[in-house]
Amino acid sequence: MEALQTLSWSDTWYLAPEIVLSGFAFLLVILDLLLPKRINRDIIGWLTLLGIVIAAVFVVLLLLSLGDGDASDSAATSYNLLAGSYRVDDFGNLLKLIFLGASAFIVFSSLGTVRDEDVPIKGELYYLMLPAVLGAMVMSSSGDLITLFVGLELLSITTYILVATRKKSKLSSEAAFKYVVTGGVASAFILYGMSFLYGLTGGTNVVAIAQGLDSAVENAEALLYIGFFLMIAGFAVKLALAPFHAWAADVYQGAPTPVTAFLAIVAKGAAFAMLYRIFMNTAFMTSAASSMLKKDVFIALAVLAAAAMIVGTVGALRQRNVKRLLALSGVANAGILLTPIAINLTEMHASLFSEFLYFLVAYAFMNVGAFSVLTIVSRDSGNETLSGFAGLYHRAPWTAVAMTILLCSLAGLPVTGGFFGKLFILFGTIQTHTYWLGAVLLVTTVISYAVYFTLIRQMYMRSGTVDSGLKMSAPSAISIGLCTIATLILGFFPVPILDWIDQVFSLTSELLLLNG
């Protein structure tokens, strides 16, 4: 306890993004209570968007201020609070920008499209995203198991409520119940695994755990295995990795579409941030004496990645509900996102974070755009099945073209962000000689073409039951357009973006805390 630092006024600068989100969340709760019922709750959405944008501005300023130092000097590129329990560095800041950017697009695209009869508590739908994003940001910056778990629970509990905001829908109630049960079980597994690490190493800080692992391996190796594999099971549920993915399709289908997009991008990305923080600073940092533990942990992650790609892709082949199709697509993509860390079986793959971050950015843009199109089409057609997209090109050609580009990116076709994201990760498997995992990635990508081209065929080669044009709000149209353009930019200029990430981010001084 003597090592714990007390927060000072100067520390508030480094916590400015989190403070902004907390303040806006509190103020919007009060405002929603005071506003008359006749006032359109879209004003809450606009203020939520404002809070997210202000927080993102502070993150950019922190990114620039930390970037002024020498990248090899961890003291110049990071700032520790509470004895390293909370760490402000470029690893966290880059992920925070993705979380805030995706959340901003989700809120913006939903303005004017969420119907009161479908989501009667629209104000809560908007401002509850602020503490959810806050939880994700805490997960990306924490260097201690306690603060990591606090961020996880803040994100989880808030999203439980968000999934249930369609109070009149039985599917939403069922989805909320399943999500609470599976989410609670996953959190329990993670917490139980953390308790083993704490008991065996005597610390909750990931650096202290890494320093005590070799001794723990000698004295209680079996218990250490139990701790790590309990956490792997918990993270597998949170990330919807096969065979722990059964909840995803039902929850995605029952939740409001903006919430579904939030779960697919922000909640999944935050779980990956927590996974990276823990496993790269504990299991990977063990010495040669503990190499078998390290190898087994990362082999388990690789097997989960392969299973997710196979099960998600094959399962999506039979789906006719587009939300469930995108949910299973998310299962497959979670396996791809897990691959960069999973291939570090025996040695460090230096570009693992760059590959992960690049594909996560591409994944965020293509999913926000796809879910925005789904929101508009399902509202117009009255259903979320493939038949709702029939003849879309003849009714709204630009929307159909945008959806085609986004689906091609999800499929990994050139030249899109999704293509280069998968290609860079595939190169990583080749460089580390993990050929079997690269083969799984390649084969499942080819199979996924059938999944996405089924939807494309509906838009261009099937006649719809409605001949009138597609109605959409200005925010939705802008969001779809920006996401499509960003997907193409990522496809045309992948190398400069990767070079910028490598220039900003230092693996050894910012992700590997034991070295920093």
In a domain, 5, yes or no: no
For residues 392 and 400, give the distance between their C-alpha atoms in angstroms, rounded to a whole number. 6
The alpha carbon of 374 is separated from its chain's Cα centroid by a whole number of angstroms, namely 19
For residues 146 and 153, give the distance between their C-alpha atoms in angstroms, rounded to a whole number. 11
In a domain, 395, yes or no: yes
- pLDDT score, position 448: 93
In a domain, 1, yes or no: no
> pLDDT tens digit string along 344-381?
755 556 678 888 999 999 999 999 999 999 999 888 87
Beta strands in 25-169 (DSSP E): 78-81, 86-89
Which regions in the chain score pLDDT beneath 70?
Answer: 1-7, 67-77, 116-118, 120, 285-291, 345-350, 464-468, 507-516
189 close to 244: Cβ distance less than 8 angstroms: no
In the numeric block, which tokens belong to residue 101?
Answer: 């950017």
- pLDDT score, position 69: 47
The alpha carbon of 163 is separated from its chain's Cα centroid by a whole number of angstroms, namely 16
> pLDDT tens digit string along 180-198?
999 999 999 999 999 999 9
SS3 (DSSP) at 223: helix
> pLDDT tens digit string along 333-342?
999 999 998 8
User: Domains in the chain: how many in total?
Assistant: 1
Beta strands in 320-382 (DSSP E): none
In a domain, 356, yes or no: yes
In a domain, 323, yes or no: yes
485, with CB counted inside 10 A (0-12, 13-18, 19+), is: middle
In a domain, 3, yes or no: no
The domain of 429 spans 10-511
Predicted structure pTM score: 0.92
In a domain, 284, yes or no: yes
In a domain, 2, yes or no: no
